[in-house]
């Protein structure tokens, strides 16, 4: 366990991609089988520990630590695994530490009732880093900035093969991947069956700037809507034995088929690879990202979720068809193939993302600021902006220069007053970094602030420190982890909050919910009395409703 724990620990502190790759290569070369195979499985999300849930880990620590002290510690550290790793006391009498293979295989063979005691014994035997790595592993939340693609890239580098080569054989293999390592180390043959549904790294766009338009001729480009969902790839085909497989991948190459069985089933016959946006559709209308979020980050879904949040793919591009790689072809050729492909597949869960008609950049600018009449119709609220693509662009992995741009919509903005602050998690743990803010409205007892949203990013690290100081200094009440901050007409902190849209919401006291709110600026220069009123937000909502952008 120690080499694996040290690897995770180093990766967690290492922000540079090349240095991460170096650490991974070093580990893959040094670590023995089958440990390194299980490590690769952990980083590609191929392991699961169904008996070990965060609730169980919480229960184990509460058997050992005062609940109040645990609560304060967790609030401070902001990460359950790390909090428990720090609080747990090592049993110095245990000399032997478990290997990674022992951990993985023991839990695979353990019953649900044996798992808690087994985990506790392992924690007893490990030092802090080991306990942290073990808990990260079994809760499936490594969060060390390593995607499946990065891990496979490191492995490919060890074997001096192209990363795509690893992708092609990947899904024929099972942890701990002994034959894969044998092939990489040139001790064995290339693993037999080619993967009929491999991941192909996606092509990404640059953000466009105003000055760029002068250099670009609108005639050379097409544009399409940028939908506010998650970018995915659907890959499918038949294996040598004739068995059909379809897989759904995230942008980073993590397989997410398990969370979207409805989609996978609906496009089951797909032979090729599609690039598209995953969205939730209800009655023919694209739902907001908030609604899509209910289905994200889950390994499995309930039948009710499938019914309430039907997933859908809006296709942008076709990368392969029937074993033919289309990526070198120009965009307009791929687009024609894509249109025919979608029509042939005829799935109710799959449609084509339409192109936007425009002849000048001015026309496109108008479409972007008001998508409904420009073709987006009822789905305009789910438009995040435009994608601008050279008609002759090949499909290249990564973010090549000169082919694709994204042009996001201008956000809405209001001045709101900080009301409550909570400590953040992850990178921002122990700082007060989650902010609830409000705007003015007429209350029963005169003017009052009503909360309209919550934001936890948009500020720099330096600004975070300043806001954190403000929160600590101006706290007027504490409710567990939440601090109420002074918010009076002449005392308090004003944020310029940017957001992508507004919706009616029964959950919020103000009756409104913001989409994708973030802190655009801190207005140290403004007093709370100068902040916006709820009426301003109501007017914004009414205006976007009229434009067909309302989203119930």
Partner 1 sequence: MRASDLLTPAPQGLYCPPADVWIDPVRPVARALITHGHSDHARAGHGAVLATEETLGIMAVRYGPDFTRRAEVARFGEPVIVNGVSFLFAPAGHVLGSAQIAVESEGTRIVVSGDYKRARDPTCAPFEPLACDVFITEATFGLPVFRHPPMEGEIAKLLSSVSLFPDRTHVVGAYALGKAQRMAALLRAAGYDRPIYIHGALDRLMAFYAAHGVDLGEIRLVSSQAKKDLRGEIVLCPPGAIQDLWSRRFADPVTAFASGWMRVRARARQRGVELPLIVSDHVDWDDLCATIREVAAAEVWVTHGQEDAICHWCAAQGIAARPLRLVGYGDEGEAEPDAAPEERTPGAEQPR
- Locate all alpha helices (DSSP H) within 31-160, ordered by sequence: 35-43, 54-62, 67-77, 80-87, 100-109, 115-125, 128-139, 148-159
CB of 132 to partner 1, least distance (A): 8
Nearer to partner 1, 1 or 208 (CB): 1
- What is the Cα–Cα distance from 51 to 272, expressed in whole angstroms? 37
Q: Binding segment for partner 1 among 8-16, 95-103, 269-277, 318-326 (CB under 8 A)?
A: 8-16
Among 14, 370, 496, 538, binds partner 1 (CB under 8 A): 14
Contact 199, 253 (CB under 8 A): yes
The distance of Cα 249 from the centroid of its chain, to the nearest Å, equals 12
Residue 353 engages partner 1 in binding (rule: CB under 8 A): no
CB of 157 to partner 1, least distance (A): 21
Task: Name the nearest CA neighbour of 350 among 246, 243, 231, 234.
Answer: 234
Contact 388, 225 (CB under 8 A): no
CA dihedral 133, 134, 135, 141 (to 10 degrees): 60
Contact 485, 418 (CB under 8 A): yes
Nearer to partner 1, 298 or 427 (CB): 427
Among 2, 25, 51, 428, binds partner 1 (CB under 8 A): 428
Binding track over 435-474 against partner 1, x by CB under 8 A = --------------------------x---x--x------
Residue 12 engages partner 1 in binding (rule: CB under 8 A): yes
Nearer to partner 1, 73 or 245 (CB): 73
Residue 150 engages partner 1 in binding (rule: CB under 8 A): no
Nearer to partner 1, 445 or 479 (CB): 479
CB of 407 to partner 1, least distance (A): 32
Q: Binding segment for partner 1 among 82-90, 283-291, 368-376, 524-532 (CB under 8 A)?
A: 82-90
CB of 429 to partner 1, least distance (A): 4
Interface with partner 1: number of residues (CB under 8 A): 29
CB of 79 to partner 1, least distance (A): 7
Residue 17 engages partner 1 in binding (rule: CB under 8 A): no
| Integer Rg of the chain from CA | 26
Q: Could you please report the per-residue DSSP string of 488-531?
A: BTTBS-EEEEEESEEEE-SSSTTSEEEES-EEEEEETTS-GGGS
Among 65, 158, 366, 547, binds partner 1 (CB under 8 A): 65
Residue 82 engages partner 1 in binding (rule: CB under 8 A): yes
- What is the Cα–Cα distance from 98 to 108, expressed in whole angstroms? 15
Beta strands (DSSP E) in 353-500 are 355-356, 383-390, 404-408, 412-423, 432-443, 446-455, 475-479, 482-485, 494-499
Residue 430 engages partner 1 in binding (rule: CB under 8 A): yes
The residues of the shown chain that bind partner 1, judged by CB under 8 A, are 12-15, 65-66, 68-69, 72-73, 76-79, 82-83, 86-87, 128, 132, 426-431, 461, 465, 468
């Amino acid at each position: 366990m120690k080499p694996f724990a040290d690897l995770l620990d180093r990766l967690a502190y290492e922000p540079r991609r090349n240095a991460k790759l170096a650490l991974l290569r070093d580990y893959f070369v040094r670590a023995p089988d089958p440990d390194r195979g299980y490590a690769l499985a952990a980083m590609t999300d191929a392991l699961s520990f169904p008996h070990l849930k965060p609730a169980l880990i919480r229960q184990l620590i509460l058997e050992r630590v005062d609940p109040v002290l645990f609560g304060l510690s967790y609030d401070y550290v902001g990460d359950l695994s790390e909090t428990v790793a720090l609080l747990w006391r090592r049993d110095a009498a245990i000399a032997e530490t478990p290997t990674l293979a022992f951990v993985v295989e023991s839990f695979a063979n353990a019953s649900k009732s044996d798992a808690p005691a087994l985990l506790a014994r392992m924690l007893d035997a490990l030092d802090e880093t080991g306990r942290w790595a073990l808990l990260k592993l079994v809760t499936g939340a490594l969060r060390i900035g390593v995607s499946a693609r990065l891990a496979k890239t490191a492995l490919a580098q060890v074997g001096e093969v192209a990363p795509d080569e690893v992708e092609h054989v990947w899904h024929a293999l099972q942890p701990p991947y002994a034959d894969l390592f044998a092939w990489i180390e040139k001790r064995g043959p290339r693993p037999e069956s080619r993967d009929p549904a491999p991941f192909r790294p996606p092509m990404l766009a640059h953000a466009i700037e105003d000055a760029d338009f002068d250099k670009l001729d609108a005639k050379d480009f097409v544009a399409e809507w940028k939908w506010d969902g998650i970018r995915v790839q659907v890959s499918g085909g038949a294996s040598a034995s004739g068995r059909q497989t379809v897989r759904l991948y995230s942008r980073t190459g993590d397989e997410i088929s398990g969370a979207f069985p409805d989609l996978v089933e609906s496009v089951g016959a797909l032979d090729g690879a599609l690039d598209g946006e995953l969205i939730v559709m209800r009655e023919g209308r694209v739902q907001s990202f908030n609604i899509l979020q209910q289905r994200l980050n889950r390994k499995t879904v309930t039948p009710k979720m499938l019914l309430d949040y039907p997933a859908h793919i809006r296709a942008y591009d076709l990368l392969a068809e029937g074993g033919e790689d289309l990526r070198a072809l120009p965009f307009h050729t791929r687009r024609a193939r894509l249109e025919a492909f979608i029509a042939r597949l005829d799935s109710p869960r799959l449609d084509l993302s339409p192109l936007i008609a425009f002849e000048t950049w001015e026309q496109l600018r108008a479409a972007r600021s008001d998508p409904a009449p420009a073709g987006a119709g009822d789905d305009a609220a789910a438009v995040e902006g435009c994608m601008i693509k050279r008609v002759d662009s090949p499909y290249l992995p990564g973010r090549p220069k000169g082919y694709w741009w994204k042009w996001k919509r201008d956000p809405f903005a209001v001045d709101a007053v900080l009301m409550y602050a909570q400590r953040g998690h992850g990178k921002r743990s122990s700082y007060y970094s989650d902010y609830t803010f409000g705007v003015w409205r007429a209350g029963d007892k005169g003017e009052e602030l009503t909360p309209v949203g919550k934001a936890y990013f948009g500020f720099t690290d330096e600004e975070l420190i300043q806001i954190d100081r403000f929160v600590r200094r101006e706290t007027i009440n504490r409710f567990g982890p939440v601090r109420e901050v002074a918010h009076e007409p002449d005392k308090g902190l004003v944020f310029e909050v940017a957001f992508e849209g507004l919706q009616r919401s029964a959950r919020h006291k103000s009756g409104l919910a913001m989409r994708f709110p973030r802190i655009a600026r801190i207005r140290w220069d403004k007093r709370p009395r100068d902040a916006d009123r709820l009426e301003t937000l109501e007017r914004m909502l009414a205006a976007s409703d009229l434009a067909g952008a309302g989203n119930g």
